[in-house]
Structure 1
Amino acid sequence: MTLTTSADWAYFLAICGVMGITGQLVRAIGGLKKVNDEAATMEVKFADAFEWPVFLTPIATGFAAGIIAGLSIKPDEITTQFLLGVLAAGYSGADFIAAFMKKSLPDVQKAASASAAKALSFDAFASKTLSLRTSISDAVKYVIADSKKIDLSEVSDEKKLSSLSFDETDCIALERNIDLYFFNVLGLQFDKLLFGTKAITRELTVEQVIDKVNSLHPRPRF
């Protein structure tokens, strides 16, 4: 989309910021319920147990993540897919910002080397000299392992996500994690975002999850 006036920019950034905040609010619901339960246990008012600084910090983080995501994507038009992507970035908050900074602000020497070699910028996983274009499966397995904090060797093609202790909520989070990892860390984009499609279920095998990702045709963003 073309942003030519101050009003255009203000409108665009406001939408991105609000969606980022919404992502953090979704994440905060569980925490607010926990505070309410603890207040009831201690027989005090919710307002006495609630800490505004603790609440506002992630909200500000979500706002920043939303704006950064919007500026990094800058779509031709504001679509539901774009808004869900910004919401997912807001949900991830500080993790998204950290991944974006690693991707977008490498040190000068690494940037020069990457430019000369026309290579993608990878995180610690890519330090294993993974060629992502031929190893999408390895990238997906890495995200699956990282999502449950298990050893990569446990993630084999024939295993179902349920056998790796994934529940429905974990599957939704996995969709988000795959989107963020491929987009922000590996510099790849899909035909459409995986997050929110509910395409990944706990009954799928790892190989089937890889097929889902391949069907989205991951390709370099630039």
Structure 2
Amino acid sequence: MSATLDAVSWLQVIGLGGAMGALGQGIRAIVGIKKLNDAANGTPASTSDLIEPSRIWISFGIGFIAGALAAVSLITDLAHVSSQQIFMLMAAGYSGADFVEGFMSRQEVAVTIATTPEAGGPDAGGTPPPPATATPPAVDGSVG
């Protein structure tokens, strides 16, 4: 079903979805801070030392975008938005940010230098490139 709304109504849909997505991300951030606090117990670092504010703001932005995109496809009548739709928008912000951050943290930019003489790379003499190293996963992507 496609909705035909005027520009102001679309902005309201996007704003509502974004706000609810950011709220869902806020719930995720609270859970992440609790996990971080548990992980920090018994260490010399405090929880506030482990939190990266820039990552939290980026996570809220991702939650806003995920909620806004969900709202565009979910809300067709601004006069009748159900509580179920509101919870779905919050869930989109929660899980959307989790999905995007999880996906991005697993994508490593790998630059492979060619090892053949035709490619002309520095390792063209037959020396294999150094092995790739894996990075350990973060405790929770929303808080650093």
Instruction: Please tell me the TM-score bracket, short chain as reference.
Output: 0.5 to 0.7
The letter for the 2-side match of 1:80 is: S
Query: 2:71 aligns to what?
Result: 70
- The reply to whether residue 24 of structure 1 matches residue 21 of structure 2 is no
Aligned residues: 96
- Separation in 2, partners of 1:29, 1:94: 14
- The reply to whether residue 43 of structure 1 matches residue 51 of structure 2 is no
- Separation in 1, partners of 2:23, 2:36: 19
Q: Which has the higher contact order (CA 8 A, sep 6+)?
A: 2
Q: How does 1:44-193 map to 2 (within 5 A)?
A: 44-76=45-77, 77-94=80-97
Task: Identify unmatched segments of 5+ residues in structure 2.
Answer: 101-144
Q: Deviations over 1:104-139 (max 9, x none)?
A: xxxxxxxxxxxxxxxxxxxxxxxxxxxxxxxxxxxx
TM-score between the two structures when normalised by the length of structure 2: 0.55
Query: 1:161 aligns to what?
Result: none
**SS in structure 1 opposite 2:59?**
helix
**SS in structure 1 opposite 2:81?**
coil
- Separation in 2, partners of 1:88, 1:34: 20
For the 8 Å contact 1:20–1:62, the answer to whether it is kept is: yes
Alpha-carbon offset, residue 56 of structure 1: 2.2
Task: Identify unmatched segments of 5+ residues in structure 1.
Answer: 98-222
Identity, in percent, stands at 38
- Separation in 1, partners of 2:4, 2:86: 17
**SS in structure 1 opposite 2:76?**
coil
The letter for the 2-side match of 1:50 is: I
For the 8 Å contact 1:19–1:90, the answer to whether it is kept is: yes
Alpha-carbon offset, residue 83 of structure 1: 0.7
Q: CA RMSD in A?
A: 2.5
Q: Deviations over 1:41-85 (max 9, x none)?
A: 333443322111222222211111101001012232211111111
For the 8 Å contact 1:24–1:91, the answer to whether it is kept is: yes
Which structure shows the higher helix fraction? 1
Larger-gyration structure (1/2): 2
For the 8 Å contact 1:23–1:91, the answer to whether it is kept is: yes
- Separation in 2, partners of 1:26, 1:51: 17
Which 4+ residue blocks in structure 1 deviate beyond 6 angstroms? Answer: none
For the 8 Å contact 1:89–1:96, the answer to whether it is kept is: no
Q: 6, 10, 22: which is aligned to 1:4?
A: 6
For the 8 Å contact 1:75–1:82, the answer to whether it is kept is: no
